[in-house]
Amino acid sequence: MENSTYVENLEIVKGEKEIIKKLGISKDEEYFKLIRIRKIEGERIIIDKDYIPRKYVANIPLKAAQDSLYEYLENDLGMKISYCTKEITVHKVTDEDRELLDMKDFDMVVVVKSFTYLEGGHLFQYTEARHRPDKFKFIDYAYREKRR
């Protein structure tokens, strides 16, 4: 079966208190709200909710949102994405999760919150990804540099 991405919503908004706090922007600043559904082997497994201030990205074409947002940002816009921090938690399923995901009998989702930064340390994206738990896998690679 095929993996695919479907754009559920792509709009310009402002003023959502929780989001402006996470992005560190004013209530009057506009940002993109992009909601995508990730299908894996034909099942709706992940909801990706991306929030990007317009001061960094003026436009997001639907095709870029559907295919590869980062390819568009880096190759077409020349953005230099540097790093992100992630927080992984488990939450009770919401009505939205049940509507947008094929939840089966699961009553919990794995939530990955990501804060992505440009070179220079500017936060340009907040993402909340909600995963069906049976298809979630976390792999970490950590290394320690020898200090002199």
Could you give phi then psi for residue 10, rounded to 5 degrees?
-140, 110
Distance CA 118, CA 96 (A): 31
pLDDT band of residue 50 (cuts 50, 70, 90) is very high
Q: Is residue 147 part of a domain?
A: no
Q: Is residue 129 part of a domain?
A: yes
**70-117 confidence digits (pLDDT tens):** 999 999 999 999 999 999 999 999 999 999 999 999 999 999 999 999
pLDDT band of residue 142 (cuts 50, 70, 90) is confident
Q: Is residue 94 part of a domain?
A: yes
Q: Is residue 145 part of a domain?
A: no
Distance CA 127, CA 81 (A): 14
Q: Which pTM does this prediction carry?
A: 0.92
Q: What is the CATH number of the domain that holds 113?
A: 3.40.1410.10
**55-73 confidence digits (pLDDT tens):** 999 999 999 999 999 999 9
Q: What is the DSSP string of 43-110?
A: EEEEEEEEEEETTT-S---HHHHHS-HHHIIIIIS---EEEEEEEEEEEEPPHHHHHHS--TT--EEE
